[in-house]
Structure 1
């Protein structure tokens, strides 16, 4: 039976995730994730999963099965990303896998073969309701014309859409999973209307999205991704994350289906920044995404390189004593519980330096400065330390700060 819960906040599994390693560490992560179940996405090839069809009609789903089992065991709402293609679909040798060619697109003569593989995946995991077609237009850039080959991608998308729907019309299919890249305003080739203090979107991304949107057979949701960075023209990192709200708002004028962010990044992350600063920036980005109406937001889970990886969700399950959850997992789970897509989500009117979001379940307020900030919220005088993030349940209490501070 299909899962009928609404997708919301969650993360994407990458090469080094939590489905393998020390059994105790794997179990610890699974229990932590299950405590507040979220969306969990996985590609069908790459990012921790082997070639699912090394030769035509010969399947190997062992590694994908293991990932999907972890998702089920930890209570996740599963999403499958239909990327990438076996080598024989893109001109490679039958029975071989060249991982350097992972991001090559299938050849047009094999689009139908990839659609058939997508249908096989949909049949194998009948409990999966949501499918994203491809990843960031990988392999679909026309070097000669210097633009995205939206026509070829859309041809592939339409075949995959039909194939998955033929398995079960209730399954949800979306795309185009294109990156809304941006540069400083006024840069050659940037949009004249989709821009702001955060930067300006590359017109080629907009053109590719519009072509797909006009030529697609159908879509149950739209999926995009992007980076927010001071290198794209923003004067500071907290201004940069306004890009997520601007792009989401524009997308909602183009479509009536839900908007998904399948990846989102805030860059750079300066070595001198404190852990609180890095988390505050990510919380600010999530506030922009939620308040502008993004229904599903997936965090790209980075590889855990050290014991204090602020951007990571848990420590490496292969390390002794691994599988320890990290603070940002708590922030992500709080967003999942407090700001689901079916909740009314509103930005709060706060003093300068504070950014807040509220729903009928909770409030989160983050200090975007490196100074102590005093503010009145609902008649109460409160203090925030530099880059402090605080959570407040809407039950009359003013507890729940995600970090304690002292002067």
Structure 2
């Protein structure tokens, strides 16, 4: 669930060989670079009132707490690869009926260390992703995770970044919370068209072995500093958290599990609920709420089956919205297939995978979710289970795959604010189909691996095994 992110490319600071420059002169240049005032180490972009602004967006960023249904960029994405393939994806996304929300982390998952040394910035890879989102007319979202090494006890410098698990799984040390908030503000000023920011990812590094629970006090302190800093940059910026993983266990497992947030699909870990409650009561503010998680249990059990397990999304979503007084709810990641958070799949056919994903999205929508981000498992090979497009690292890549069609069409049909309507389903079809409808669109999912004749919304029609069917009402 975002735990296996990795950076793409080196993103390191380098000095080009300077012909004719003596040792003393070179030393002077190095001294100037390393002592530039904060915010002046990166010389790309234009200058406005002393703040670095990357690019000149033609239109302002979308405001409001909801952005709709989109996806998150991961290590290999379409901002890099074969020219023909990347152009295909750009055209694909630009030709969509709506602006597709696209989320990018500031470090990892395709972005290098943004501040290798305090006050010195390297936004080259983050720039590349934001530029791609702009070229494809997407709504940009930035996740403020993870943090430079020097903020968490490591050595400064891009060359010292440890891109093993520790680089993305370690939180800033408390004495550097303000430094991280300052970095968040610098990023917000650099991309003035980005109006939506998520604070951190899955409480990474905030587990306390000593207490045997999440360090929700530490996360909330970091969140509040970032929230205030972003609002100082622009009061219209939308900020959300806490991006907790809503882990669940077998419904018969009562140890450290909830007695209230439960269902046939399982029980949510009580320690997660405790962390959420603390953040919710002590946050400086929030424009939207962020969670993530899987329909299956921590032991990869899908209860009662892969389709029935998605009911968890409805139950958790309703609970979160009730706790926050109805704040807009985002799922930053959502998983329905064991292994899909690290691409270690069990061999589902793509039609099966798409059908269960559609069931999960229906369940979230029924729970009042307004925005969700599909974690795109893009890789460099030909086989890529669940990818949105074929790999742009290949000359013939960049082709639209079924999952992108689902995400795009779902977002177009059921945008934020959609009023869902009841749908009549024949009694003998109710166990076999999942449905969602508004006044214009009807989505029907066959949960069986065989052809059925279904009667939905007063109409009878045939559906192939695991078919996802869209109808106009």
State the match for 2:206 in structure 1.
140
C-alpha offsets along residues 348-403 of structure 1, whole Å, 9 cap, x if unaligned? 34222011111123111010012322122343321111111111123xxxxxxxxx
2:70 touches 2:372 (CA, 8 Å); kept in 1? yes
Matched, 1:325 2:433: no
State the match for 1:405 in structure 2.
none
CA separation of 1:206/1:361 partners in 2, compared to 1, >3 Å: closer, same or farther? same
1:87 touches 1:93 (CA, 8 Å); kept in 2? yes
State the match for 1:348 in structure 2.
423
**Could you tell me the TM-score, scaled by structure 1's length?**
0.94
The farther-off stretch of 22-31 and 132-141 is 22-31
State the match for 1:219 in structure 2.
286
Matched, 1:202 2:266: no
| In 1, Cα distance between equivalents of 2:179 and 2:249 | 37
| In 1, Cα distance between equivalents of 2:384 and 2:61 | 35
CA separation of 1:272/1:130 partners in 2, compared to 1, >3 Å: closer, same or farther? closer
1:264 to partner: Cα distance: 0.4
1:32 to partner: Cα distance: 0.8
The unaligned stretches of length 5 or more in structure 1 are 395-407
State the match for 1:98 in structure 2.
162
Of the three residues 135, 151, 169, the one matched with 1:89 is 151
Of the three residues 314, 326, 330, the one matched with 1:260 is 330
Tell me the secondary structure at the aligned position of residue 227 of structure 2: helix
Of the three residues 40, 62, 87, the one matched with 1:27 is 87
State the match for 2:69 in structure 1.
9
State the match for 2:450 in structure 1.
371
2:86 touches 2:392 (CA, 8 Å); kept in 1? yes
Q: Compare CA radii of gyration and give the structure with the larger one.
A: 2
C-alpha offsets along residues 102-124 of structure 1, whole Å, 9 cap, x if unaligned? 22100000000000000000000
Tell me the secondary structure at the aligned position of residue 140 of structure 2: strand
**Could you tell me the TM-score, scaled by structure 2's length?**
0.81
C-alpha offsets along residues 158-213 of structure 1, whole Å, 9 cap, x if unaligned? 00000100000110001000100000013111101111011110001100000000
2:68 touches 2:371 (CA, 8 Å); kept in 1? yes
Of the three residues 226, 239, 255, the one matched with 1:160 is 226
State the match for 1:311 in structure 2.
386
CA separation of 1:347/1:134 partners in 2, compared to 1, >3 Å: closer, same or farther? farther
C-alpha offsets along residues 306-355 of structure 1, whole Å, 9 cap, x if unaligned? 43534110111111211111111001110011000111124634222011
1:185 touches 1:233 (CA, 8 Å); kept in 2? no
Matched, 1:174 2:240: yes
1:339 touches 1:361 (CA, 8 Å); kept in 2? no
Tell me the secondary structure at the aligned position of residue 321 of structure 1: coil
Matched, 1:277 2:344: no
**Aligned-pair RMSD on alpha carbons?**
1.5
Matched, 1:75 2:137: yes
